[in-house]
Amino acid sequence: MGRNCIRLIAVLFAALAAVMVLPSLFGRLIPARGYYSYMKVVYAERLGDFLISQPDYASAADHAGGRSWTIRDTRGNEYTADAADTLAVLENASQLIFEGRLPATLCGVGLTPEEVSAADFTMYFGDRGDRSYGLMDLSDKLSYRSQDYRTDDLFRFAEEGIEFIDAPSNRVDREKSLRFRKALDAAGFVRPCAWAWKPTDAADAEALGYFLLDARGCLYRMGMCGGEPEVEPIALPEGCRLRNLSFCDRPELLALALADDGTLYRMDRDYTFRRLELPSARHLRVAMRSTLLFRKFVYERADRTDYYVTDLDFRMLDSCTVEHPQRRNLTRERIARVLFPLTVQLTPWQGLRFSGPEGWGWALLNLVWCGVLALLLRRRGESLRNPFVVADLVVTLLLGLYGLIGVLAIPGLGSERNLKK
């Protein structure tokens, strides 16, 4: 009985592994035909509108690379590539600077290559997609003077509190750990630590240390100066349950914060938060392109891409949505939908994603696979009245080909007659 239960669990795990592996393996063994669909979307500050560039293969015979580009704004007006460069100056600034075509002024603002380049940067933020390896290092605020970085500044968070590790002996430095625990307790920190973030800029990391989320969802800053702890609470906006902090190594901005409900906040260097007029970034990784006059946010979704433009103070100026063209209905894809209608994907921002089957075809196909398994079991001399054989049939009926593979991958225990022998 126990062996049969263990086997049933193994069958389910094998079926789950088949769900995660087989669709991608099928895609690798039988790749799709070349299908290319790329659209470049830039914001033309001189137009106050977006310019959308799409490849045009029909008229591409005389063009380099086998394609030409059709460039239109959201109202349908068409532009040449040279015109697009001069209308969307800041997003094409690198090319214009290289060619010596950067204008002296733009929208009443004087331009220099140095100012334009210094203001141009891209950062990514949104739902938590990073990994926590458990062991972190806390640089002393005064380390930049002496360049004295020590291995005993390594620490981790345990259920009972922070623990500093003495690397040579691989033991916990109890005296140092106790000092930091007392400092955290005095500031109101409630163990255990739910998450910890460190600024990406090295100077910020040394000056500020870590930003910690305690068990209640309250935010704290923990740094170190001269070997002594620095801990201070940071007030979050009312009703904000912090999910992620994405740091930016810019003097005008410390980080962008994401709340559990998807609301976005800017975190200034005085640790104040201001809510942004942007849509929810829950389960998304968003790109922000910042220029001398505006910021452009790109929300990449499965069926579309949303673009939002704000001024430098994050006030909304314009938005645009570009639908993704549907892929051609290839024979390969029709076969994949029949064989593998249920798929599981794992992404760092969305976690496990299940794509379910459509229509009654899934149920009918599962009946076929269940019938195939029943025939195989009868040929092996298995009794269809055996409750564990019935369990195998039920797994196949529910999971189709995946269940069949799981049952066949884990050998059965044989018929009662064979066991008696």
Q: Of 257, 151, 132, 271, nearest to 192 (Cα)?
A: 132
What digits encode the pLDDT tens for the residues 213-228?
Answer: 999 999 999 999 988 9
Residue 23's pLDDT band (cuts 50, 70, 90): confident
Rounded to whole angstroms, how far apart are CA atoms 244 and 208?
17
Q: Which carries the bigger pLDDT value, residue 58 or residue 419?
A: 58
Q: Which carries the bigger pLDDT value, residue 72 or residue 1?
A: 72
**Mean pLDDT score, 249-260:** 92
Contact 258, 279 (CB under 8 A): no
What is the CB neighbour count within 10 angstroms for residue 255? Answer: 24
Rounded to whole angstroms, how far apart are CA atoms 291 and 215?
38
Q: At what angle do helices 331-339 and 2-29 cross, to 10 degrees?
A: 170
What pLDDT is attached to residue 413? Answer: 52
Residue 150's pLDDT band (cuts 50, 70, 90): low
